[in-house]
Amino acid sequence: MRARLAFAGLALTVACAAQAQPKLMGWDDLMARPRPTATAVVAYGPDPLQVAELWRPDGKGPFPTVLMIHGGCWRSGLANLHIMDWVAEDLRKRGIAVWNVEYRGVDRPGGGYPGTFRDVNAAADALLDHARQYGLRTDRLIVLGHSAGGHLALWLAARDRLPAASPLRDPRRLDIEWVVGLGGIPDLATAQDSCGEKTVARLLAGSKAADPLADTSPAALLPGTTARILIHGGLDETAPPALGRAYVAKARAAGDRRAWTYAIPGDGHVEEIAPGSRTWAAVTLGLESVVKSRDHAWVLQLNPSLP
């Protein structure tokens, strides 16, 4: 009930604020903020990009944990894990540990298929390996990704559904309770609208499969078994709300009722990972309700029209 009331208040605040149509944030607005520092850096492979940064709350633990994946159109030269520093620190202060993942993009040696996907797998496995050392809970894990990282987050949650012959298969079990996609790209078949056709082609170029989407696109791995919510800024032009709606429609058509989507009026792509924004307020309220009370009703409050 508390989560429902909180979201009702948030909805009213969002509706009122959206009428003003404020100027959208740019990347410079986010990057100009004082940058916080991670607790530790952990290598999960020999390449300099095969690292994860740990943001550990103060205290003994064990702490609920978010595995976080940044975006940037799968290109290391466009963005890296540090664009997530501010939201990682915000969660750390709320008592939620963050395992912020770096990976090789399509513009780096070893990136693309299968390297980018294998990096995400290896980073998740490294979290399992280091959990006891750092006092991290890996039961009821939450995976959060932004933009192209939203694609990788949804993909990671579906890795146990990959075809048996896929070189991307990883046998280790991940206990993922929720996937949160922020301005995410859930369907590689339409991803060229967000990142350009050449970028998607580079991501899939190494695949030898008859259908390169069969083990790479979350929309091709439906129905899912993990709860997923795709949150988009209502004014996000990079990954517009229509992407989330299309993915949920495909999930429903496949008999999957564990996916939801919602658009936050007045926010854009950068606001989705900017503490202080309406979108991030919705994310943190939902995450805190999940880790503290396991209250899944927060999703239905975001979009009560969905079954």
pLDDT tens sequence across 212-261? 999 999 999 999 999 999 999 999 999 999 999 999 999 999 999 999 99
- Binned at pLDDT 50, 70 and 90, residue 298 comes out as low
DSSP string, 17-50: HHTT-PPPP-HHHHHTSPPP--SEEEESSSSTT-
Question: Is 284 a domain residue?
Answer: yes
Q: How far apart are CA 89 and CA 97, in angstroms?
A: 9
Burial class (CB in 10 A: 0-12, 13-18, 19+), 62: middle
pTM above 0.85, yes or no: yes
- Binned at pLDDT 50, 70 and 90, residue 16 comes out as very low
Per-residue pLDDT tens for 158-203? 999 999 999 999 999 999 999 999 999 999 999 887 787 789 999 9
- Binned at pLDDT 50, 70 and 90, residue 302 comes out as low
HSE-up of residue 153 (Cα within 13 Å, Cβ side): 34
Question: Is 160 a domain residue?
Answer: yes
Question: Is 234 a domain residue?
Answer: yes
3-state SS, residue 179: strand
Question: Is 298 a domain residue?
Answer: yes
Give the pLDDT score at 15. Answer: 46
For the chain, the farthest-separated pair of C-alpha atoms sits apart, in whole angstroms, at 52
Q: What is the CATH number of the domain that holds 82?
A: 3.40.50.1820
Per-residue pLDDT tens for 116-165? 999 999 999 999 999 999 999 999 999 999 999 999 999 999 999 999 99
Place of tokens 């009122």: 16
Q: How far apart are CA 187 and CA 100, in angstroms?
A: 23
User: How does the average pLDDT of the chain come out, rounded?
Assistant: 90
- Report the 10 Å Cβ neighbour count for 13: 12
Question: Is 307 a domain residue?
Answer: no
Question: Is 152 a domain residue?
Answer: yes
Q: Is the dihedral of CA 23, 26, 29, 30 positive or negative?
A: positive
- Number of domains within the chain: 1
The boundaries of the domain holding residue 171 are: 2-302
Place of tokens 């991940």: 174
Q: Is the dihedral of CA 257, 262, 277, 17 positive or negative?
A: negative
Contact 280/90 with Cβ under 8 angstroms? yes
Question: Is 121 a domain residue?
Answer: yes
